Structure 1
Amino acid sequence: MKNLSLMKILLNLLKLLNVRSVDMNSQNKSFNVISTFSGCGGSSLGYKLAGGKVLLAVEMDDNAVETYNFNFPGTPIFHGDIHNLSVEKVLEITGLKPGELDIFDGSPPCQGFSTAGKRDFCDPRNQLYNEYIRLLKGLQPKVFVMENVSGMVKGKMKLIFADILKELKASGYQVKARLMNSMYYNVPQSRKRMIFIGVRNDLNIIPSHPKPQTKPITVGEALKDIEPEFIKYSNNDFVKSVINRVRPGEQFSKYHPNGSYFNYIKLSRNKPSPTITRSGFGQFFHESGRYITINEIKKLASFPKDFKLIGNPEDKWARIGNSVPPNMMKAIAENIQKEILAKI
């Protein structure tokens, strides 16, 4: 009887080890990605960290392409207007056939939706998602990920959101869209983004988003080991007049008679950074009153220290402000691998 019980225990243990082995193998399995509107490579880095391989990036901004090429020297990049990129050309570059691609990624420009901008309903950039959908229909990937700003579900912009959702579903996909905040995914920045995830209908798998993974990381925690590459203070007369009165976490507009300087903020060491925007250079200040530096902003966006930014400070800041934080995309990619691709 004892020997029989021992045998059962050993068999159950072997089954458990085998299940864990299969699970680990499925999570570690590589997957391929095409990234559109790639910027300097925030999403691409996230996919790479999750074990993926980017077969093609698509970007038209010269500085973004130069930065991408430096950090991802082995990845082909289509440097030009996405309107001029055909499905046939994508298949030629990647060597894929329709339906073979694992993940089709894209972050169509969002300035027309953004709550940080004018939120112009007629902004032509609001329609670039049509180019993403055109390629989606032709490539028929197993999964797609589309990222955009939270402003697309606010006010009259909801009409475009509904249209996008309808077109994505009509392309042959089960689709789920959810607002995600990067501060719950190992990024010391509060950055809300709408993340669409779709799974091709024939695969019969319901899309899912990763659950929150970490507690918010504060500015103080994130920057404690970062040496600023320079110490510089603003020469702006208004900023100089109020910099010592502005409390950590406050916007400078509170101290301006007309409410101007809304985007100027003194970061609080006890909170995550607010959203880093493309045009935010010279608007983020340390508690001491000095400017926040490029090295510090990289850390607040979860870019590694060795990620190279190219150009003047405004260019470097814009690249970070336009990027999906790599650690957030890593979490999304890992969830897709585990909950979708591993089940195909």
Structure 2
Amino acid sequence: MLKTIDLFAGAGGITEGFRKAGYVCVCANDIDEEAKHTFTYNHPTVPFVLKDVREVTAAELLAAANCTAAEIDVITGGPPCQGFSLAGQRLSDDPRNTLFREYVRIAADIRPRVLFFENVHGIMNMQNGRVLKAIVTEFEKIGYQCKYNLVNAADYGVPQARPRFVLIGIRGFDKKITFPQPTHGKNEESGQMNLFKRELLPYVTVNDAFSNLPVVNQGEGAEKMKMRNHYDNDFQKKCVGERNPGVIYNHRATRHSKAIQERYAMIPQGCNNSILPPEIRTKKQNAYKLDLSLPGRTVTCNFRTDLIHPVMNRGLTVREAARLQSFDDDYCFFGNLTRKAKWLTQDDQVGNAVPPLLAYAFAKHIKENMIPQFEKEK
């Protein structure tokens, strides 16, 4: 059984994807109490170290996992990268670099076979690419060959056009790193141009994700609801939970004022509120109404105001956003719905998560293509 340690685990999107690919997460770490609540409810057998990563040692993680370093196959995670600072061509000692350095420190101490590092797509262009070069250099210093790319979650069956940066590091410099081939996309018309291309499944759309969810109007819904046994497509069947099938969580809609509802009603699908007449337009210009026929826009931590339901004149519920992120329906999120609390909200946890289906695609590929390269070392 392949074993992982999940750093900056949050709500557990990476752990969930790797779990479905047959891995066992033996320890997770995050600093947020509500993220821990969500993670441990959905992964009750995984030890969780609730602590600032800067205060965590590799020995502490291994003790919690009841494992030796040699047993760890993959370390996963994506430390916040905002504010990376360079000194010349190298990452400086600026405190804003600290979290990434902790990831490197723990990886250097444990030395897993593979590193799975996920982050925002903008990391590729920070300081004209010098930040990315410095990050790769840090991984190479501790003995990892790296390959990175910008990927789109929609290409792997997630109903969301979410661009993300993914880096795979493999221990040693004598091994081959590849990325999983997309499974979904737009197929060209049949003919000579398509003779040698793989046939892709069509993108999973917002309609594919939403069509069988209970109808929830303004201010309606509940934290726990029964789900009717009706599925319109394969994606919806994949969303049936293994833990508590027939139940969905976190499907509560915000109540909007009449003026907001009227504004939302005037926005066509696939457009944002900049299309509105100037006299009723607000300062916020990025409220986007989802298009039923396309994968959704990127789910942010502000999806209640950034993303408008394609049919109902309201923001999304946590469950709808979780569907766009490819979480199972019985994956329950804990925490407040507003930012008055000290800890992460449900919205933050969903918006920050790595889509489990994206994590699954990489986990499966690593299992089949990266890990076997270590067999000769045993």
Interval of TM-score (by shorter of Structure 1 and Structure 2): 0.7 to 0.9
Residue pair 2:7, 2:76 contacting (<8 A) in 1 also: yes
Aligned to 2:272: 251
3-state SS of 1:311 partner: coil
Deviation track 1:208-237 (CA, whole Å, cap 9, x = no partner) reads 211101232110111111114443452284
User: How is 1:294-313 mapped onto 2 (pairs within 5 angstroms)?
Assistant: 294-313=318-337
Which of residues 124, 134, 145 is equivalent to 1:163?
Answer: 134
What is the letter of the counterpart of residue 77 of structure 1? F
Deviation at 1:297, TM superposition (A): 1.2
Aligned to 2:210: 223
Residue pair 1:228, 1:296 contacting (<8 A) in 2 also: no
CA distance in 2 between partners of 1:280 and 1:122 (Å): 35
Deviation at 1:94, TM superposition (A): 2.3
CA distance in 1 between partners of 2:324 and 2:65 (Å): 33
Aligned to 1:330: 360
Tell me whether 1:235 sits opposite 2:235 in the alignment.
Answer: no
User: How is 1:1-344 mapped onto 2 (pairs within 5 angstroms)?
Assistant: 30-112=1-83, 124-156=95-127, 158-201=129-172, 204-215=174-185, 216-232=203-219, 234-235=256-257, 237=259, 239-240=260-261, 242-255=263-276, 257=278, 260-288=283-311, 289-314=313-338, 315-344=345-374
Deviation at 1:111, TM superposition (A): 4.6
Aligned to 2:89: none
CA distance in 2 between partners of 1:292 and 1:279 (Å): 10
What is the letter of the counterpart of residue 109 of structure 1? P
Unpaired segments ≥5 residues, structure 2: 85-91, 186-202, 220-254, 339-344
Deviation track 1:182-211 (CA, whole Å, cap 9, x = no partner) reads 001111011111101011006x32122111
Residue pair 2:300, 2:306 contacting (<8 A) in 1 also: no
3-state SS of 2:49 partner: strand
Unpaired segments ≥5 residues, structure 1: 1-29, 114-120
What is the letter of the counterpart of residue 313 of structure 1? L
**TM-score of the aligned structures, taking structure 1 as reference length:** 0.83
Residue pair 1:223, 1:296 contacting (<8 A) in 2 also: yes
Q: Percent identity?
A: 29
Cα RMSD between the aligned structures? 2.3
Residue pair 2:76, 2:115 contacting (<8 A) in 1 also: yes
**TM-score of the aligned structures, taking structure 2 as reference length:** 0.76
Q: Structure 1 pair 122/98, CA: closer, same or farther in 2 (3 Å)? A: closer
CA distance in 2 between partners of 1:69 and 1:183 (Å): 28
Q: Structure 1 pair 40/228, CA: closer, same or farther in 2 (3 Å)? A: farther
What is the letter of the counterpart of residue 276 of structure 1? V
3-state SS of 1:282 partner: helix
Instruction: Name the count of aligned residue pairs.
Output: 306
What is the letter of the counterpart of residue 319 of structure 2? N
Q: Which moved more, 1:172-181 or 1:99-108?
A: 99-108
Q: Structure 1 pair 125/251, CA: closer, same or farther in 2 (3 Å)? A: farther
CA distance in 1 between partners of 2:180 and 2:21 (Å): 13
Q: Structure 1 pair 297/323, CA: closer, same or farther in 2 (3 Å)? A: same
Residue pair 1:281, 1:313 contacting (<8 A) in 2 also: no
Q: Which structure shows the higher helix fraction?
A: 1
CA distance in 2 between partners of 1:207 and 1:134 (Å): 22
Residue pair 2:114, 2:169 contacting (<8 A) in 1 also: yes
